[in-house]
Structure formats: structure tokens, C-alpha cells
Amino acid sequence: MPYLGAEPAPSALEVATTDIADDAVTLAKMVSGTDGNIISYDASGDPVAIATGSDGQVLTSTGAGSPPAFEAVSGGFEALIGSTVISNDATIDFTVDTTYDIYKFVIVDCVPATDNVEFRMRFGDSSGIDTGASDYAWFISGSRVSGATAGSTTGGEQARDNLDAQMVLAMDSSGGSNDVGSAAGEGVNYIIHVFANETSGGTMDTTYTGMGVSFDPAGICYPRFSGGNRHTPLVLTTVQFYFSSGNLSTGRITCFGLKHAA
């Protein structure tokens, strides 16, 4: 039936806030929007839809006077680059880039498939892994600290090479044959920092330091300090870990990127 009165048509009537009961407005009554948008307020205090953003972005404050926004997570000073669970691999490679100044490798329960082997590392650039016969220098100090022969050797042992095809991280630093064992309870735990100086315009060689422990084939523990370099700076793209013979059997290696400013 048509409206015949003199008053304004109902469609022109305003509904006061007090005319709406609490909890009366359902989601179905709201105007449709864009999938994933979030309602906020703009600088004028009016409602505004925050654009959905992309996968992996987080809602970030943009400060007073503007609505928040979905933005990429800042990597901060330290970020997880990757983590590899070892399962009978000849080598473990991590791809790195120029984003970070230092790369930290956390090596846990790394066990060789072959008994009595050295644990080694190499660097690579866009040309591949550097296997040059005299491109690396390395040093290890360590000492036996447990087992049946504890105390029967000198307090410290050292090994080094200034022209080698790899960097040795764990070995019998007395030069003998008590390298890394493969039995239960043997293997390597290590933390290594690789300094990719070229990423920040530095001219020093690509260098590393490491601290860890290894257990030899007799189950004897050797705490380690190690360090070394590749003889000329490398635009680092790859860091590789492996044993001198046979596969890496089990364990896990995780790579973190570190930088001076977020």
C-alpha cells in the first residue's frame, strides 16, 4: 500500500543510535567487503577497511594519524635461514646471500656414517663450491677431556694447515687417527660463525670461527676451538659441510643470518 502521509518517507528517516539495541547488528546486516580486510579508523575517525595484504605479512602499526597496515615481517638482527635434518647425505649445503653480515651454523648430533673421519667445511660462490687445493687456511685446538685415557695426553693439541682444499672443523688434532667416531654417543656438536665481510664492503678474507665438541671412535670427548679463512674474499653463496669419507648419517644443521642493523 503506498505511503500517503505528509511526513517524510521512511527511507529518509534517520535511525538514532538509541533506536538500536545492544548486540542487535549482526554480521549479516553489515555491508559486504573484501576477503581478508580488517575494519579500522582513518585519521578523521571514520571507519576504513585495511587492505588484506599478502601471505606472511603481519598487521603493523603505522603510527598515530593513520590506520595500521599489513607489512612484511622485519628480519631483525637475526633470522632463520634454513634448517636441515641430516639423513645419509654426502654433503650438506646451505645457500646464503648478501643480506646478512654473519651466518651462524648450529650443528647438533652430527654423526658420520663412516667411523674415524674428519668433519670439514667449504665455501662457495656463484661459480660453485671452492675446492681449490690451497685456497683455505684453518686451525684447531683441543684436548681430550673424558674417557679411559683422559689426562694421559698433553693438555692441549693443535693442528693447522695454511694451504688446504678445505677447512677442518673436527679431527684428531694431535695428527693421529682418533678423528670423529660414528658409534652411538659419538659425532659432532658445533657452532660456527662465518663472516661474510664482502657484504658490508669489507676487504678481509671470508673467515670463520667455531666452538664445539666431538667424540672420537673411543668415545673420548674433544672440546674444540677453530678458525680460519679462504685466502681471498668470496661473494659467499654457499656453505658446505661434509666428512672426509662417507655420508653424514644423522643430525641437524640450522643456519641463522645475523646483521648489524635490522
Partner 1 sequence: MANYIKNVDGVKIEMSDEEHAARVAEEKAWEDNKPVKAFRGLRNERNQKLAETDFYGISDLTMSDEMKAYRKALRDLPASYNNSTVVGTITWPTKP
State which residue, 121 or 205, has the beta carbon closest to partner 1.
121
Residue from the set 18, 34, 127, 154 that interacts with partner 1 by CB under 8 A: 154
Please tell me the total number of residues recorded for the chain in this structure. 262
Distance CA 181, CA 189 (A): 12
Q: At its nearest, how many Å lie between partner 1 and the CB of residue 174?
A: 5
Per residue, the 3-state secondary structure of 178-196, as one string, reads CCECCCCCCEEEEEEEEEC
The single-letter code of the amino acid at 144 is R
Q: Are 232 and 205 in contact (CB under 8 A)?
A: yes
State which residue, 116 or 226, has the beta carbon closest to partner 1.
116
126 is an interface residue for partner 1 by CB under 8 A:
no
State which residue, 168 or 205, has the beta carbon closest to partner 1.
168
132 is an interface residue for partner 1 by CB under 8 A:
no
Distance CA 80, CA 254 (A): 8
Residue from the set 84, 141, 146, 250 that interacts with partner 1 by CB under 8 A: 84
Residue 107: name the closest of 208, 180, 227, 214 by CA. 214
71 is an interface residue for partner 1 by CB under 8 A:
no
Q: Are 167 and 121 in contact (CB under 8 A)?
A: yes
Vertex 213: Cα angle to 212 and 217 (nearest 5): 150
What 3-state DSSP class applies to 17?
helix
Residue from the set 8, 76, 82, 156 that interacts with partner 1 by CB under 8 A: 82
Residue from the set 86, 137, 140, 188 that interacts with partner 1 by CB under 8 A: 86
State which residue, 178 or 226, has the beta carbon closest to partner 1.
178
61 is an interface residue for partner 1 by CB under 8 A:
no
Distance CA 229, CA 162 (A): 9
What 3-state DSSP class applies to 77?
coil
234 is an interface residue for partner 1 by CB under 8 A:
no
Among residue numbers 155 through 184, which ones bind partner 1 (CB under 8 A)?
Answer: 165, 172, 174-178
Q: At its nearest, how many Å lie between partner 1 and the CB of residue 54?
A: 23
Residue from the set 61, 62, 74, 95 that interacts with partner 1 by CB under 8 A: 95
94 is an interface residue for partner 1 by CB under 8 A:
yes
Task: Specify whether the backbone of 157 is left (phi greater than 0), alpha (psi in -120 to 50) or beta.
Answer: beta
244 is an interface residue for partner 1 by CB under 8 A:
yes
Q: At its nearest, how many Å lie between partner 1 and the CB of residue 254?
A: 11
Task: Please give the residue ranges that form the binding site for partner 1 (CB under 8 A).
Answer: 82-86, 88-95, 117-118, 131, 152-154, 165, 172, 174-178, 244-247
